[in-house]
Amino acid sequence: MTLRLGNLEIATPVVLAPMAGITNAAYRRLCAEQGAGLYVCEMITSRGLVEGDQHTKDMLVFDDLETVRSVQLYGTDPVYVGKAAEILCAEYGVAHIDLNFGCPVPKVTRKGGGGALPWKRNLLGEILRHAVTAAEPYGVPVTMKTRKGIDADHLTYLDAGRIAEESGIAAIALHGRTVSQAYSGLADWDAIAALKASVTTIPVLGNGDVWEAADALRMVEQTGVDGVVVGRGCLGRPWLFRDLAAAFAGESVATLPTLGEVSTMMRRHAELLCRHMGEERGCKEFRKHVTWYLKGFSAGGAMRRDLGLVRSLADLDALLDELDPEEAFPVSELGAPRGRQGAPREKVVLPEGWLDDTDGIGCEIAEDTVSGG
């Protein structure tokens, strides 16, 4: 089973979802070493790229292994999105652009962006068309990711699928939650199946609650989607992509690494971060991953604290050597949610009057120039 996005063919129909502060070049390299798939760069803002924001430029760093450069782009203004798409194609040599219409973060939705934007159908269509037109001369496919809607009373995903098809988008991915749900509760795979039934000319990808390779296969079977998007499921478990590649190839492989094997993965992750960022910054960046890697293992509080303060690869090596390499993987963690979850929001932060009109353009809401989560 492969995934075709325009003229781009992905050997395994699996996409790594951009996660702010996580899916940098080092982490994408680590995941790519495990299995085939498409690994998307952290979300950047179109305005930040067009106006030359240095932080945005710093995020557009790629590893030598990334022969297929993929970037997620955020924007609320069609002209800025189109210009940014052309810059990505002409100056950064990207092979794939994904447009973000799924972010639930209040600082994004209050400007009408992310998961709030598809409520404005004309604006959505204009953004998609500008991006597709800009990328088309370079043969770069443009895809989009969205959510079910703003909340249960303001659903947008079926309209978004229709507009995507009409605008020349190469594929659409649906996270089976609303903006108001954020990451709480269960993903609605029935909605993903409904979108797949509605969209007939482009691939549909499913996102939400893929924690193990078996979940991905079950999603495909239940919804008919053409591929899956993995986010929180790979936190502290980059070998999930190896399992996914095996599962989609018809092989029954489920990785249950010992603590020693997890330690080796942790060391590789830290090494790659240091290679890209320098040792001090790379070790600092690695600290946030320690809890995810050790989730369910018996490593005590003192060890976790020390690993969370590591300042050099030598310090990391000394601490990892203290772990029991033979400790078995905690099977109780299989299928368990990872990363942020939280509670549903009573009210989504939106621009004033945003819900009054579904067909407006709404470009008076200016996006930030600074990229990142």
Start-to-end Cα distance in the chain = 32
How far apart are alpha carbons 32 and 38 in whole angstroms?
8
Annotated binding residue at 72? yes
Annotated binding residue at 18? yes
Annotated binding residue at 57? no
Annotated binding residue at 175? yes
**Alpha carbon separation from 248 to 11, 19, 35 (Å, rounded):** 10, 24, 11
Which of the residues 31, 41, 89, 103 is marked catalytic?
103
Q: Residue 155's beta-bridge partner residues? A: 149
Annotated binding residue at 106? no
103 is catalytic: yes
Closest to 113 (Cα-Cα) out of 69, 79, 74: 74
Q: Write the DSSP symbol of residue 102.
A: -
Annotated binding residue at 231? yes
Annotated binding residue at 90? no
Annotated binding residue at 20? yes
What is the three-class DSSP state of 188?
coil
Q: Are strands 154-155 and 149-151 parallel, antiparallel or unpaired?
A: antiparallel
**Alpha carbon separation from 298 to 212, 293, 295 (Å, rounded):** 22, 12, 9
Residues identified as active-site: 103
Residues in binding site: 18-20, 72, 145, 175, 231-232
- What residues are designated binding site for FMN? 18-20, 72, 145, 175, 231-232
